[in-house]
């Protein structure tokens, strides 16, 4: 848990180092919460998350009924022997 919090805090601090990063966060708070000043408490909110809260959210949202399974298969070779990627086709 501590490692995950540290990684998240490091990513947010890195984002906050640029004017664009700060502007994006403030804009998100304005659009989603109508409260751009909440950006000032963001890091404290992240640091306050407990392992029990993470487990509760994981149990709620990470269920077998809500998963998506993707089966990715390569494109069949073209008739000319050229691969789809070398012919410029979008895969």
Asked if residue 73 is part of any domain, the answer here is no
Distances (CA, A) of 52 to 37, 48, 61: 28, 11, 14
Asked if residue 87 is part of any domain, the answer here is no
How many domains does the chain fold into? Answer: 1
What DSSP line would sit under the chain, residue for residue? Answer: -HHHHHHHHHHHHHHHTSHHHHHHHHHHHHHHHS-GGGGGGHHHHHHT--HHHHHHHHHHH--GGG-------PPPPPTTS--TTTTT---
Q: 51-79, pLDDT tens digit by residue?
A: 999 999 999 998 888 888 889 999 988 88
Does residue 26 have a pLDDT over 60?
yes
pLDDT of residue 24: 94
Asked if residue 20 is part of any domain, the answer here is yes
Tell me the average pLDDT across 7-35.
93
pLDDT of residue 9: 87
pLDDT of residue 86: 55
């Amino acid at each position: 848990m501590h490692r995950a919090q540290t990684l998240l805090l490091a990513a947010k601090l890195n984002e906050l180092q640029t004017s664009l990063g700060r502007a994006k966060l403030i804009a998100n708070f304005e659009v989603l919460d109508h409260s751009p000043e909440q950006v000032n408490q963001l890091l404290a909110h992240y640091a306050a998350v407990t392992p029990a809260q993470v487990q509760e959210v994981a149990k709620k949202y990470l269920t077998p009924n809500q998963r998506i399974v993707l089966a990715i298969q390569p494109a069949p070779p073209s008739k000319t022997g050229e691969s789809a990627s070398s012919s410029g086709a979008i895969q």
